[in-house]
Structure 1
Amino acid sequence: MHLHLLQHSPYHGPGRIADWLSSMGHSHTVFHLYDGETPPSLADGDALILLDGPMHVLDDAQHPWLKRERKLIARALDGNKPLLGIGLGARMMATELGATVGRGTFAEVGWHEVTLAPESPFDLPERFTAFMWHRDVFALPDEALPLGGSSGSPVQGFAWDAGRALGLLCHLEVTRAGVDALLAEGERPEGSEASPHAQPDEAILADDRRFDRLAPLLDRLLSQWMRSAPA
């Protein structure tokens, strides 16, 4: 399979996803929308991955390409190809599915525990720790099943259309190098300084083993998602 990855910021890259795709024999192309690259045609790829970004879903004035991307997402949801969104990508998917998207009560930054929802279709542990980097959140779209929630965000992800469309608020793809770059860039999610769910840099980077523990979780999730691809 050939996958298209849409990147919205130089600091929110594919992380481990690129290595996982290569290890599984899949090819991929990254489209740097923030740098003026045109979104791909759905016909040219077998699946679509929408990465995170610091902007709001409807921030068209500063980022006019968002409107084109939302149209692409709408066409993908109406089609039959697998679609995965992370962070901003998941919020854009939720918007196109009619769910409410907006500012959460608190920013979530750093490592936080996610509790799997009883009705979750995801093959993941009942509790696991994931990386968070957001203030904006989304409600569960109609006809979607939830991933689960954290203490700061009750909806951390969803599966729609039998898992073909998968949205994640949390991050399983990040690497130490990627988080180093994110922290060095310096622009944390809005409200981080006053949030009880936002950790300082030294706490985020205190244990590199947390990054390693994400790898099997990402593998399990991506494997499940890829099984939704048409034969």
Structure 2
Amino acid sequence: MHVHLLQHAPHQGPARLADWLTSMGHSHTVFHLDAGELPPKPGDGDALVLLDGPEGPLDETRQPWLRRERKLVERALDGHRPLLGIGYGARLIATALGAVVARGTFAETGWHPVTLAAESGLDLPERFEAFMWHREVFALPDNALPLGGSEASPLQGFSWDDGRVLGLLCHLEATAESVGALLANEPLPEGSEASPHAQDTAAMLGDPRRFDRLAPLLDRLLSQWLRQAAA
């Protein structure tokens, strides 16, 4: 299977997601939309991943790739290929499905527990810890199932069309290297300084085992998601 990944910021890339695809025998191409690369054609590839990107509104004047990407997302939603959005990408999918996207009450950064929704239908533990980096949140789209939530963000993701489409606010793909690059090169989400749900750098990077524990969660989620390609 060949997977297309759309990147929206130089330091918010695939991280462990690319390694997982390779280890499972899948090929992939990363399209650097932030660097001016055009997105793939709607019919290309077997699955599509929309990576994280800029915080704030989805704004075509500041994000020149957005108009083309929105058309690609609409075609993907109408088709039968798996579609996954993380952070910015999840907001883009939620918007295309008619859900409200807005600034949350608090910025949420670092490590926070997520409680799985009873109706999620996803193969994940009832409670797990995930990495967060956001202020923007979204409402549950019509006909979607909730992933579950954290204390600051009651909706940490959703599945749609029997799990073929996933939107994740949290980051299961994060590695120590990807978070280090994020901290060194990207501004903190707005309001992080005053948020009770924002961690400092030492807390984010202090325990490497946290990143190791994300790996089996990502494996479980992606394995379930890509099974839709063979359905």
Task: Classify the TM-score, shorter chain.
Answer: over 0.9
TM-score when scaled to structure 2? 0.98
Quote the offset at 1:99 in angstroms. 0.4
Shifted more, 43-52 versus 62-71: the winner is 62-71
Structure 2 unaligned residues grouped into runs of 5+:
none
Residues 196-207 of structure 1 aligned to structure 2 (within 5 Å): 196-207=196-207
Quote the offset at 1:42 in angstroms. 2.3
Residues 137-177 of structure 1, C-alpha deviations (whole Å, 9 max, x = no match): 00000000010000000000100000000110000001101
TM-score when scaled to structure 1? 0.98
Partner of 2:106: 106
Specify the SS of the correspondent of 2:229.
coil
Asked if the contact 2:55/2:134 (under 8 Å) is kept, the reply is no
- Paired residues in the alignment total 231
Partner of 1:154: 154
Partner of 1:140: 140
Quote the offset at 1:190 in angstroms. 0.7
Partner of 1:118: 118
Runs of 4+ in 1 over 3 A off after TM superposition: none
Quote the offset at 1:43 in angstroms. 1.4
Quote the offset at 1:60 in angstroms. 1.1
Asked if the contact 1:116/1:125 (under 8 Å) is kept, the reply is yes
Structure 1 distance, partners of 2:123, 2:149, is 15
Quote the offset at 1:186 in angstroms. 4.4
Letter in 2 for 1:97: L
Specify the SS of the correspondent of 2:111.
strand
Letter in 2 for 1:206: G
Shifted more, 178-187 versus 127-136: the winner is 178-187
Specify the SS of the correspondent of 2:85.
strand
Structure 2 distance, partners of 1:196, 1:67, is 35
Structure 2 distance, partners of 1:137, 1:70, is 18
Structure 1 distance, partners of 2:196, 2:60, is 31
Asked if the contact 1:56/1:88 (under 8 Å) is kept, the reply is no
Partner of 1:193: 193
Asked if the contact 1:159/1:165 (under 8 Å) is kept, the reply is yes
Partner of 2:96: 96
Quote the offset at 1:57 in angstroms. 4.7
Structure 2 distance, partners of 1:43, 1:150, is 36
Structure 1 distance, partners of 2:71, 2:59, is 15
Structure 2 distance, partners of 1:4, 1:56, is 24
Structure 1 distance, partners of 2:42, 2:171, is 25
Partner of 2:218: 218
Say what the alpha-carbon RMSD is for the aligned residues: 0.9
Structure 1 distance, partners of 2:132, 2:156, is 10
Structure 2 distance, partners of 1:169, 1:209, is 21
Quote the offset at 1:24 in angstroms. 0.8
Quote the offset at 1:205 in angstroms. 1.0
Quote the offset at 1:198 in angstroms. 0.3
Asked if the contact 2:5/2:28 (under 8 Å) is kept, the reply is yes
Structure 1 unaligned residues grouped into runs of 5+:
none
Residues 30-63 of structure 1, C-alpha deviations (whole Å, 9 max, x = no match): 0000000001012120000000012435211111
Structure 1 distance, partners of 2:115, 2:55, is 27
Structure 1 distance, partners of 2:120, 2:35, is 37
